[in-house]
Each structure stands twice: as structure tokens, then as C-alpha cells.
């Protein structure tokens, strides 16, 4: 059964239709990749799924339940975790505290179990050494890791990852892919927006292409990548 489904979701900013009649289903435990040029509406689609932005039309379902009207904090507790493309750490809190907030609120963990849970995530995301550092002072790379770690700490059943691999070295990318695979192996469903295609395609089972807010294609990664239309759009990005 689909864990998440969108039914004809649309959203405009002024005259600009940023999400145009998007429908798809994500199966429980599935990993879906989203690609598309800058400005295609990928991040906006995430915001519509998480409730940070309200759709003009269409509905969002989680486990068959209509969550279109639920605010973000209730959707997190219902199991949708997210990272932000531009990292949004709680800058005055330490890295550990950033996760603690997520675990205590989104993950609904008690004071007893949350600390060890957070530390486990920090070590899996390579942040244990900076656990006590104020998150505002982290490097961009560490901030991106923190985005991933904090999303994990909300105990999501669907995790939405927005361009967390950009700017990584090859070795770091391999590490990141391993982490995401591990999340996937736990049965967590994933939607991953990424320009680093080899990393993306080594994880996801299906790939969606967005262009000008429209869903151009969705299917097996090699099929999608073989499509002439997609190759044309992606020429600039692959290079």
C-alpha cells in the first residue's frame, strides 16, 4: 500500500505555476529520486508534502489519511521527516541539541531514550566529534550532514532529502550513500532530490523528473535516463 500519495497537487507563486497537477504514489519502504533543472519546483514539492506550503489545489495522503490541512509539526509526528536544501540549523543550539529537539518533539521520544538515540544518529552521520559544538559554527558540509541527521531524529517513516550531496568529495559521497542505504534498509521510505546522479541512482528504485512544475516522467532510473526528453533537459546538469 502507498505510504504517501499526491493527488493533482498544484501551487502557483503569482503567475508562476511552480507545481502543476502533480500526482504520484510512494510505496512503504520505497526510495524515489527526483531530478530536474533548478527552479523546476522540486523543493516546493517537498514543502507541499511537509505542509510548509499549502497547495492551491489537490490533496496529500499519508497512509491513506488526508493530511492536506495538517500543519508541518503534525505531519512530522505522523512520520514525514525532511531536510532543507539551504540548511536551517538551530544556530545557538549544539549539534546534539538540534537532534534532541527533533527526537523529543517530532520523534516523540522520552527524556530517557532520546539521548542515546541521538548519539547513535550522530555517529552514523559522522557528526559525533562535533556533537557539543554550536551548530551555527559548522562548515557547509557539516550543516548538510546535520540536516540529514536531524531529519532522521524525527523518526520518519518517509524521509525527504533535498540536495544533501552537492559539494561532497567522492569519498564523502560514498559515505553518504552508505548512510542513506542504511536508512533505506531499515524500511524507511525515501524521496531524494539530487543533482549527483550516480549517487542518486545507486540508491533509488524509481526516478521522477520535474520540469516547469510538471511531472515529466516517473519510472525505473535507467528507463528514465534513457529517455531523449530527459537527456535533453539534463545535458546542462550532467556536464
Partner 1 sequence: MTLTRPFGLAAAALALALLYALPAIAPRAVVQDLFGILTLLVLAMNWNMLAGFAGLVSVGQQAFVGIGAYAMFAAIILMGLDPLVGVLIGGLAAAAFAVPMAFFAFRLNGAYFAIGTWVVADIARLGISQWKALGGGTGTSLPKGTAKDMAFVGQIKDMLDVSSAAAADALTYWLMLSLAVAMLVASYVFLRSRMGLGLQAIRDNENAARSVGVDPVKLKALVFLLAAFGTGLCGALAFIQITRVTPDAAFSVIDWTAFVIFITVIGGIGTLPGPIVGVIVFYILQRALADYGTIYLIVLGCLGIVVMLFARRGLWDMFTDRTGIDLMPLTHRPPQGSLPRPKPSRRAA
Ligand X SMILES: Nc1ncnc2c1ncn2[C@@H]1O[C@H](COP(=O)(O)OP(=O)(O)O)[C@@H](O)[C@H]1O
Binding of Mg ion by 43 (CB under 5 A): yes
Question: The C-alpha cell of 117 is what?
Answer: 538515540
Quick check: helix, strand or coil at residue 40? coil
Contact flag: residue 47 with Mg ion (CB under 5 A): no
Minimum CB–partner distance for residue 133 and partner 1 (Å): 5
82 binds partner 1 (CB under 8 A): yes
Distance of CA 88 to the CA centre of its chain: 14
Look at strands 80-82 and 2-13 and give their pairing: unpaired
**Stretch near ligand X under the rule CB under 6 A, chosen from 31-39, 93-101, 113-121, 184-192:** 31-39
Nearest to 182 by CA among 97, 103, 124, 120: 124
Interface with ligand X (CB under 6 A), residue from 3, 35, 44, 161: 44
Binding characters for partner 1, 17-56, by CB under 8 A (x = yes): ---------------------------------x-x----
Chain-centroid distance of CA 235 in Å reads: 24
CB of 42 to Mg ion, least distance (A): 5
β-bridge pairing 57-62 and 2-13: antiparallel
| Axis crossing angle, helix 95-104 with helix 140-153, rounded to the nearest 10 | 20
By C-beta, is 42 or 144 nearer to Mg ion?
Answer: 42
Kindly provide the residue ranges of all beta strands, DSSP E only, lying in 106-166, ordered along the sequence: 158-162
When asked if residue 90 is in the footprint of partner 1 (CB under 8 A), the reply is yes
Measured between alpha carbons, how far is 78 from 162 in angstroms, rounded to an integer? 20
- Give Cα 132 to chain centroid, integer Å: 25
Q: Which is nearer to Mg ion, 10 or 94 (CB)?
A: 10
Rule CB under 8 A: say whether 2 interacts with partner 1.
no
* Shortest distance, position 78 Cβ to partner 1, whole Å: 10
What residues pair up with 26 in beta bridges, in sequence order? 4
130 binds partner 1 (CB under 8 A): yes
| 140 contributes a contact to partner 1 by CB under 8 A | no
Number of helices and strands (H, E) in the chain? 9, 10
Which residue, 11 or 155, has its beta carbon nearer to Mg ion? 11
DSSP strand pairing (189-193 vs 31-35): parallel
Q: Does 52 bind Mg ion (CB under 5 A)?
A: no
Binding site for partner 1 (CB under 8 A): 50, 52, 71-73, 76-77, 82, 84, 88-94, 96-98, 100-102, 104-108, 111, 115-116, 118-119, 122-123, 128-134, 150, 153-154
Binding site for ligand X (CB under 6 A): 13, 18, 36, 38-44
Amino acid at each position: 500500500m502507498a505510504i504517501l500519495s499526491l493527488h493533482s497537487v498544484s501551487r502557483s507563486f503569482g503567475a508562476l505555476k511552480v507545481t502543476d497537477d502533480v500526482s504520484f504514489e510512494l510505496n512503504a519502504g520505497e526510495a524515489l529520486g527526483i531530478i530536474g533543472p533548478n527552479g523546476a519546483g522540486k523543493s516546493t514539492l517537498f514543502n507541499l508534502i511537509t505542509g510548509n506550503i499549502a497547495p492551491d489545489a489537490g490533496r496529500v495522503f499519508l497512509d491513506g489519511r488526508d493530511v492536506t490541512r495538517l500543519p508541518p509539526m503534525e505531519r512530522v509526528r505522523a512520520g514525514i521527516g525532511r531536510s532543507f536544501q539551504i540548511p536551517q540549523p538551530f544556530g545557538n543550539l549544539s549539534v546534539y541539541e538540534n537532534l534532541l529537539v527533533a527526537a523529543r518533539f517530532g520523534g516523540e521520544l522520552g527524556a530517557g531514550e532520546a539521548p542515546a538515540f541521538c548519539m547513535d544518529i550522530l555517529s552514523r552521520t559522522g557528526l559525533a566529534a562535533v556533537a557539543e559544538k554550536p551548530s551555527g559554527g559548522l562548515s557547509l558540509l557539516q550543516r548538510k550532514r546535520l540536516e540529514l541527521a536531524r531529519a532522521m531524529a524525527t523518526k520518519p517513516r518517509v524521509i525527504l532529502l533535498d540536495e544533501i550531496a552537492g559539494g561532497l568529495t567522492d569519498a564523502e559521497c560514498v559515505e553518504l550513500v552508505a548512510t542513506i542505504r542504511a536508512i533505506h534498509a531499515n524500511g524507511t521510505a525515501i524521496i531524494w532530490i539530487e543533482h549527483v546522479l550516480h549517487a542518486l541512482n545507486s540508491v533509488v528504485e524509481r526516478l521522477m523528473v520535474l520540469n516547469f512544475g510538471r511531472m515529466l516522467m516517473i519510472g525505473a532510473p535507467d528507463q528514465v535516463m534513457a529517455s531523449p526528453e530527459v537527456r535533453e533537459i539534463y545535458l546542462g546538469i550532467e556536464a
